Amino acid sequence: MTGVKILLTGAGGQLGRALMAQIGQGGSLAGTHLLLPVDLPEWDITNRAQVFATVREWQPDVVINCAGYTDVDRAEAEEKEAFRVNALGARDLSAAAFQVGAKILQISTDYVFDGEETIPRREYHPVNPVNAYGRSKAWGERLVRETNPRHFILRTAWLFGEGRNFVRKIIALSREKEEISVVADQFGTPTSAADLAQCILRLIQTESYGTYHATNEGESSWYSFARRILALTGIECRVKPVTSRELARPAPRPRYAVLENHMLEVSGLFKFRHWEEALAEYLQVEETGKRVYQ
Ligand SMILES: NC(=O)c1ccc[n+]([C@@H]2O[C@H](COP(=O)([O-])OP(=O)(O)OC[C@H]3O[C@@H](n4cnc5c(N)ncnc54)[C@H](OP(=O)(O)O)[C@@H]3O)[C@@H](O)[C@H]2O)c1
């Protein structure tokens, strides 16, 4: 598929940058797609007129929405703002895409689930978010489904790429301290933003619309994730396992938010590798300072 016109929102965020690295200048897919990257402060998804004008003028084939209100704790105090971005913004973008016959790809989250189960969640399991961020994302999913039948909704989790993320936070903290406390009773799947970008670029070439879980394979607690990061980097620091209750945060988190990539598996559209393999590659690149996306 060549010459696909893409409108990429949230282009400066973690996932946006991973997509840019592949389809933007210097990326392995550079030149195969026509890309319009947009982001704050110039472009605001909550500005309805701007959203519709951009889509009307650019006439994309595909809109990839990586813009998001992603501060899970702050969302508790700013739920309306989270809804404006994650629900209403997504709706307007999706409706604008529909007007020009474009596909919409919306990024959602494992936090749409309550985490009360102990087996990985499939796409058809009922959502029941436990925090404001999760509610805004779940409602965003629904509004995208209602406004554009040509939608892909990808639920992902625990992203690491270019930007602020858990991996970088653990490395920074462990260099400063002799011991760090990490939550051991929340489970999910660390996911490479670069791997997710590959999955996205595969899906948008198809007409296989619907909801997909899209994470690396495997599962982990934040505690085990932190230990793996330190083992791979060779940084000496004690990691103390603590409970969510001990490390009280403003937003409650789902306890077990592991996603099964069931729809990707059934359709045979994309296979993710194990998160530990993706993490090892990510850290190697962080160390050498050379980020390579294939
Ligand atoms: N990170 C994760 O672990 C994770 C897990 C599950 C799902 N997701 C979802 O994946 C998507 C991408 O996440 P990410 O990690 O790349 O997030 P990110 O690094 O926070 O990037 C989000 C981008 O959206 C932009 N943005 C925020 N408000 C906006 C607005 N009103 N209009 C236009 N752009 C706006 C941000 O700009 P500023 O930086 O200037 O605010 C930023 O560039 C989001 O939908 C998120 O909910 C992320």
What pLDDT score was predicted for residue 46? 98
Residue 291 has pLDDT above 80, yes or no: no
pTM recorded for the entire structure? 0.96
What pLDDT score was predicted for residue 289? 59
Q: Is residue 9 part of a domain?
A: yes
Reduce the DSSP state of residue 238 to 3 states and report it: strand
Which residue, 215, 218, 201, 192, is CA-closest to 285? 192
Domain span at 60: 4-164+190-217+258-275
Q: Any idea what the CATH number is for the domain that residue 143 is in? A: 3.40.50.720
Q: Is residue 180 part of a domain?
A: no
Q: To test ligand 1's pocket by mutation, which of 7, 9, 66, 104 has the most ligand atoms within 8 angstroms of CB?
A: 66
Contacts of 181 (CB under 8 A, 6+ apart): 239, 240, 241, 242, 246, 247
Q: To test ligand 1's pocket by mutation, which of 70, 131, 253 has the most ligand atoms within 8 angstroms of CB?
A: 70
156 Cβ below 6 A of ligand 1: yes
Residue 21 has pLDDT above 60, yes or no: yes
* Number of domains the chain is built from: 1
Residues annotated as catalytic are 133
Residue 287 has pLDDT above 90, yes or no: no
Say how far apart CA 126 and CA 120 lie, in whole Å.
Answer: 13
Q: Is residue 294 part of a domain?
A: no
pLDDT in tens, 76-109: 999 999 999 999 999 999 999 999 999 999 999 9
The rounded Cα 261 to chain-centroid distance in angstroms is 14
Closest-CA residue, ligand 1 atom 24, reads 67
CA–centroid distance, 208 to ligand 1, in Å, is 25
What pLDDT score was predicted for residue 149? 98
Tell me what the mean pLDDT of segment 36-46 comes to. Answer: 98
85 Cβ below 6 A of ligand 1: yes
**Torsion of the alpha carbons at 83, 86, 88 and 90, rounded to the nearest 10:** -170
Closest-CA residue, ligand 1 atom 7, reads 109
What pLDDT score was predicted for residue 112? 98
Q: Which two tokens stand for residue 270?
A: 């994309």
CA–centroid distance, 236 to ligand 1, in Å, is 32
Q: Is residue 282 part of a domain?
A: no
Q: Is residue 175 part of a domain?
A: no
Q: Is residue 200 part of a domain?
A: yes
Q: To test ligand 1's pocket by mutation, which of 19, 40, 216, 222 has the most ligand atoms within 8 angstroms of CB?
A: 40
Among 18-32, 148-162, 191-205, 243-257, whose mean pLDDT is lowest? 18-32
Q: Is residue 97 part of a domain?
A: yes
158 Cβ below 6 A of ligand 1: yes
Residue 286 has pLDDT above 80, yes or no: no
138 Cβ below 6 A of ligand 1: no
